[in-house]
Every structure is written in C-alpha cells, then in structure tokens.
A = this chain, B = another copy of it.
C-alpha cells in the first residue's frame, strides 16, 4: 500500500529515541512541545494550497525536525506515521 499526501502535506516516520541519540539530538521523553526527528516517507505535490502557491522543500529520505504535536498520526501496514503540512516542519538535518 502506498500513501500519497494531498497539497502541501508530508508523511513522516518518527525516528526511534536510540536512533535519535546517534544523530546527536537528545529529546527527554517527558519533553512537551519539543521538536522531534523524523524521516520523510512521502511528499505532496504542493502547488496551490488554500489559494497560495506552495513549493515543496523537503524530499523523501530527508531527516527533519518537527513540533511534537503537529499533524495527525496514522497507522499503515502496522507502522505509525505522521501526516503534517510542510509548514509544520522546522528544519532539515544532515
């Protein structure tokens, strides 16, 4: 099964805490409203979103930081993903 986000939406897969630590980001489990690291797994086409032109800046495979409570969680094929708007992504990490 494939998932194709609409408009400026992006599907991301949250990285595990262990993996997060490897990349150097420490996120205390009890932190609230803190950004989290995730990997982009699907990107919407962008274009006109609510009458405004949106160009997609992230691509599949990017590691991104996002606000913990952004977007909507969804479980596909037994795995959890988050669908959010690109504007809820704070930064790409390399």
Contacts and interface: CB of A to CB of B under 8 A. Distances in A.
A60 interface: no
Interface in A38-70: 42, 44-45, 47-55, 57-58, 65, 67
Given A50-B52, A53-B51, A73-B34, A5 B78 contact: no
B26 A75 contact: yes
Interface residues of A, number: 49
Contact of A93 (B1, B90, B91): B1
A64 B66 CA distance: 23
6 contacts: A4-B92, A9-B91, A24-B76, A25-B76, A27-B75, A48-B54
